[in-house]
Amino acid sequence: MRGNEGDFFADLTTAPIFEDVVYESEALGLPETQNEDQLEEQLAVSARESGIEDPYAYFCTGSQDLSTAISTMTVSSEHRSSMSIHSRETQSTGFTSHPSRTSKDTPYFDQLPSFRATPPLARPSLSLDYCDAVLDRFRPGVRHRHSSSAASGANSVFSTSSSLSKPATRKQKRASGLFSMFRRDVSACSSRSHQSHHVKPLSPKLDCGHSLSKYAIRVHIQDALESGENLPPSCCGKPLPRSVLETVLTKQETDIVMNDSLQLQAYSPLQDSGYSEDGVTDIDLSGSLASPSHPTGSLVAAPDTASRDMAHEDEECLNSVLANEVFKGLRAQQKEQFRRVALFESNQRKALLAYHQWSLKRLALQRDTNKAEKTRQHALELERLDETQILAEHDLRKSQGQETQNAATALKYMEAYCSGSNPVSPETVHTVTEEDRKKLARQHVLQVKLPAKHESAINVLRAKQEKDTKMKLQKQSTDLLQLDAEFEKEKCGEEMLLARQLNRLETTIESRRKRLMNRWELQFDMWRRDWENQHGTTLNRRLPHEEWPKVEEAEEEVDPSSALALYFQMA
């Protein structure tokens, strides 16, 4: 860290990295007086003006998974159904078909027509294939599971005993999915076709006054199939004429939808598990399903021809949209915004990592500073200890010298006394006793042992001083190790903090991307409506969005005026 940069960055935190104001200003390019909520309010007003009844459905929490779900879909992808009549009956109460794109409950999903040119499983009756194809055409968004009977019907015949092994008290099976199209409330026409799509000028006009496009007719048929009522497709309570149905259906398909009595008798025994109530399998019914009015060739070829025609029509509409200059400009705006947002996200990650690296460097520098200070203190303590020890030894030697001098003086006087002379009072006559001689001998021994005694005292003092020094060095080493341990603990805490902040950042990025994709989805639908109004047609494909740029593609030098630029100066 150069100069006073440590003090300059000391008060800096990671809060600006997560602030919405910085994101709205630098990534979205919004002015200071506007935020995302206000932007969505303005977009909702424009959407209502374009005819979208509930634009806030695009912004709600339930629709935020839309971008994730549709990001993996391609423009040419189709929802294909492999569900048999039996499996459809089993799942009759579990349909999750996609609503129109103006639905107030769920986000819009494009409803692509689904056909099966080659059924994945061979069935013994072509009539079943044909009926499946008819129903699948008008259930493009239905999700279903393969029943065990449909998966094994190509290669095995169910035995009568397996059918009879079921309890006699089993619940009555729900009616065939084919019959669910004949019940409908005729009091009003609430079809989605009148709510979300426009008609061509030459579309057939009904007695009720409505003009239905081909797509609207298909929606009416789908509504009748999914209603669970025994009523044919109708508009405003009046059944659609055969001539209208035959604009999107073949003659054979129209017979099925218009409740042909022969076909009702043929399909009524079918059960959702593949067994009939009397134990006859679907293969046993193949003879009764074969009818002269349904030749094998027409049963197989009709759905394929209609599928190709509708797919070709949708493909032409989509190509026309992709070639539109206004739409190209809209996608260019989306691409540029995605680039700015991805660049901002990349800078956020870099800023967070730079702050983390700076924090680690600051901790390491603080550790080194503390260790240097401790080492200096330790040196002073050792120096003071040495001085104390030297003074102690000096005092000891001084006292020992005094003791040696005193012992020598005492020995001198005792020897003179025992020799008969009295140095203190020579005139005084005294008698030397045996006790005096013993004292003199002891004094001689003390005089001889005194140097060894002094040397031993010096050694004891030095041993004590050495022990004190060793303990001091050990304590100093422990202090340095404690500094390293505290540094590792703080470093671990910093790593955990980085992990939590990175997780928080990724969560924030994901939430912001979903919100951004929801706004673009609404803008694309607004443009779609305008284009459909201009061309008098309906686009049944989802408009393709731009892809998010990869991280390496978002590498650019950070703008010095950015709120995140300060973090890059830490490196």
DSSP 141-160: T------HHHHHTTT----H
Structural domain includes residue 16: no
Residues 395 and 495 in one domain: yes
Residues 78 and 137 in one domain: yes
Q: What are phi and psi of 93, to 5 degrees?
A: -95, 5
The answer to whether residue 381 sits within a structural domain is yes
47 domain residue, yes or no: no
Q: Which of 283, 302, 323 is the last residue of a domain?
A: 323
**Domain membership flag for residue 194:** yes
Position 14 in a domain: no
Tell whether 516 and 411 lie within a shared domain: yes
For residue 471, which of 382, 380, 344 has the smallest C-alpha distance?
A: 382
Question: According to the model, what pLDDT value does residue 532 have?
Answer: 85
Domain of residue 352, residue span: 329-568
CA distance 46 to 42: 6
Kindly tell me the number of DSSP H helices and DSSP E strands found in the chain. 19, 2
CA–CA separation, 197 vs 213, rounded Å? 9
pTM above 0.75, yes or no: no
Q: Are residues 90 and 177 in the same domain?
A: yes
Q: Do 182 and 311 belong together in one domain?
A: yes
Its sign, for the CA torsion 208, 209, 211, 215, is: negative
334 lies in the same domain as 272: no
Number of domains in the chain: 2
CA 334 – CA 224 distance, rounded (Å)? 39
**Tokens 């499946």 correspond to what residue?**
132
Based on the domain organization, do 273 and 314 belong to the same domain?
yes
Query: What does the DSSP 8-state code read for residue 29?
Result: -
Contacts of 116 (CB under 8 A, 6+ apart): 80, 81, 82, 132, 133, 136, 303
Phi-psi region of 212 (alpha: psi -120 to 50; beta: other; left: phi over 0): beta
Q: Can you tell me which residue has the tokens 């100066």?
A: 569
Residue 335: inside a domain: yes
399 and 309: one domain?
Answer: no
Reading the block at residue 474, the tokens are 């050990």
> Is residue 462 domain-resident?
yes
pLDDT of residue 204: 64
Phi, psi of 161 (to 5 degrees): -65, -35
pLDDT of 440: 87
Q: Which of 299, 323, 347 is the last residue of a domain?
A: 323
H/E stretch holding 114: none
Give kind and range of the element (H or E) at residue 188: none
Q: 520: closest CA among 539, 543, 538?
A: 543
Based on the fold, state whether residues 435 and 541 are members of the same structural domain.
yes
Single residue among 323, 344, 363 that ends a domain in this structure: 323
pLDDT of residue 571: 66
State how far the alpha carbon of 451 is from the alpha carbons of 359, 392, 410, 459, in Å. Answer: 64, 18, 16, 12
CA 3 vs CA 7, 9, 340: distances in Å: 9, 12, 35
Domain membership of residue 64 (yes or no) is: no
**519 and 450 part of one domain:** yes
DSSP 51-70: T-S-GGGGTSGGGTTHHHHH
- The pLDDT tens digits along the chain (571 residues) read 444 455 567 778 889 999 999 999 999 999 989 999 999 999 999 999 988 888 888 887 444 444 443 343 333 333 333 333 333 333 334 334 444 444 444 443 343 333 333 333 333 333 444 445 444 544 444 333 333 333 333 333 333 333 334 344 444 444 444 444 444 443 445 555 554 444 444 556 777 777 777 778 888 888 877 776 667 888 887 888 887 887 878 877 777 777 643 344 344 433 343 333 333 333 333 333 334 344 333 333 344 555 566 666 667 777 777 878 888 898 899 999 999 999 999 999 999 999 999 999 999 999 999 999 999 999 999 899 889 889 998 999 999 899 999 988 888 888 888 887 666 666 666 777 888 889 888 988 988 898 999 999 999 998 998 999 999 999 999 999 999 999 999 999 999 999 999 999 999 999 999 999 999 999 999 988 888 888 888 877 788 889 998 866 556 678 888 888 888 888 6
Question: What is the amino acid identity at position 407?
Answer: A
Cβ(540)–Cβ(314) below 8 Å? yes
Same domain (yes/no): 144, 228: yes
Please choose, from the candidates 33, 118, 135, the residue with its C-alpha nearest in 3D space to the C-alpha of residue 84.
135
Question: Is residue 219 domain-shared with residue 361, that is, in the same domain?
Answer: no
Gap between the Cα atoms of 521 and 516, Å rounded = 9
Q: Quick one: pLDDT at residue 166?
A: 39
* Cα→Cα distances 92→136, 183, 226, Å: 13, 14, 9
For 556: left if phi > 0, alpha if psi spans -120 to 50, otherwise beta; the answer is beta
- Phi, psi for 359 (deg, rounded to 5): -65, -40
Coil, helix or strand at residue 205: strand
Distance CA 341, CA 329 (A): 18
3-state secondary structure of 434: helix
Count of CB atoms situated within 10 Å of the CB of 481? 10
Question: 366: which 2 tokens?
Answer: 């603080």
